[in-house]
Amino acid sequence: MHAMTVFYTIIQQLVNGLILGSFYSLVALGYSMVYGIIKLLNFAHGDIYMVGAFVGFGALGIFGNALGIGWLGITVALVISMVLVGFLGIVIHRIAYQPLLNKNAPRMSLLITAVGVSFTLFNAVMVMTSGEYKAFTTSLGYDGISIGPINITYTQIIMVVATAVLMLGLYWFINRTMYGKAMRAIALDQDACRLMGINVTKTISLTFFVGSALAAAAGVMAGVYYGSIHFYMGFIIGLKAFTAAVIGGIGSIPGAMLGGLILGLLETAGTQLPFVGSAWKDVFTFGILILLLVTKPTGILGKSEIERM
């Protein structure tokens, strides 16, 4: 291949990988935050992303007439989805997890309720949508910036910027606000937090709200980007985002961001490499990840303490 062609391909794939990685990162954050604070692998989190996509789809359907199905309508739908799905996260926490936490239940029981919540969400949406694909129709075109054969659409640019804004917002919240600091403190010592006057249950609920809202944002953006949604879309991304969270170091917020981006970039790189291609991309990606974890079992930014599940 000509050197310039290789260069163009790399840039183009970098952009594609960044988009995919953004979705993984946003979902991985919720995984990591919830794990950090209550040591629960919230296997329903991928389905939260899926529900987010459908709520955004529904909101766009309702407000699309008035606001249009361009960026204004999409932004409104995104915000509505983030808020509603955030509250769904709180409801799930209060009904399915907190009662077990109150009784000091074994972690394995929590894990099973999480699987139960996953099936519940998944089947509910399947029934409501008759298991059909829904076209996530928007008026966004393929306009963008072209440099030689490289084509980056405005949609792609806005998605990456939106993800960056959400992550910076989260970073600010976690490090600068009292409730953000309380979240980090709860991950370290719950009883000590009670002695500071922190309402631990409420703060855990808030964590579910934030994590679910971020997953919902990713769901809506994925719907807009790929143009169609279905009840099954959360399953694979749930697993991959979980992987991303572990790669980054589960419990670490910058780790989840980094892990998602690395996973997205590896996957897109895999499709382009000779001898790999799209059929083998997962083998390639997970092969590298296994190597990475074997070398650093706690993940890239994870702390070297022994965690029990």
Partner 1 sequence: MNDLALVLQNVETFYGKIHALKGVSLEVPKGKIVTLLGSNGAGKTTTLKTISGLIQASAGKIEFYGRDISKEKAHNIVSMGLIHVPEGRRIFKDLSVKENLELGGFTLKDESLRRKRIEHVFEMFPRLKDRQKQIGGTLSGGEQQMLAIGRAMMTDPKLLLLDEPSMGLAPLIVQDIMRIIKQLNSEGTTILLVEQNAKIALKLADYGYVLETGELVMEGDSTELRKDERITKAYLGE
Single out the segment in contact with partner 1 by CB under 8 A; choices: 86-94, 107-115, 194-202, 265-273: 194-202
Could you say which of 44, 162, 193, 237 contacts partner 1 (CB under 8 A)?
193
Report the residue number, 102 or 295, with the smaller CB distance to partner 1: 102
Residue 188 touches partner 1, criterion: CB under 8 A: yes
- What are the backbone dihedrals phi and psi of residue 288, each rounded to the nearest 5 degrees, phi first? -65, -40
Report the residue number, 115 or 196, with the smaller CB distance to partner 1: 196
- What are the backbone dihedrals phi and psi of residue 198, each rounded to the nearest 5 degrees, phi first? -85, 130
> Pattern of binders to partner 1 over 110-139, x per CB under 8 A?
------------------------------
What number of chain residues touch partner 1 (CB under 8 A)?
17
Residue 306 touches partner 1, criterion: CB under 8 A: no
Whole-angstrom CA distances from 88 to 33, 44, 45, 99 are 16, 12, 11, 16
Give the nearest distance from C-beta 249 to partner 1 in angstroms: 13
Q: Which two tokens stand for residue 99?
A: 């009662």
Helix 253-272 to helix 277-295 angle (10° resolution) is: 140
Residue 189 touches partner 1, criterion: CB under 8 A: yes
Single out the segment in contact with partner 1 by CB under 8 A; choices: 175-183, 205-213, 266-274, 279-287: 175-183
Rounded CA-CA distance 83/164 in Å is 19
Residue 184 touches partner 1, criterion: CB under 8 A: yes
Burial of residue 130 (CB within 10 Å: 0-12, 13-18, 19+) is: exposed
Q: Which one, of 15, 180, 30, 205, lies nearest residue 101 by Cα?
A: 205
**Residues of the shown chain interacting with partner 1 in the complex, contacts defined by CB under 8 A:** 178, 181-182, 184-185, 188-189, 191-200
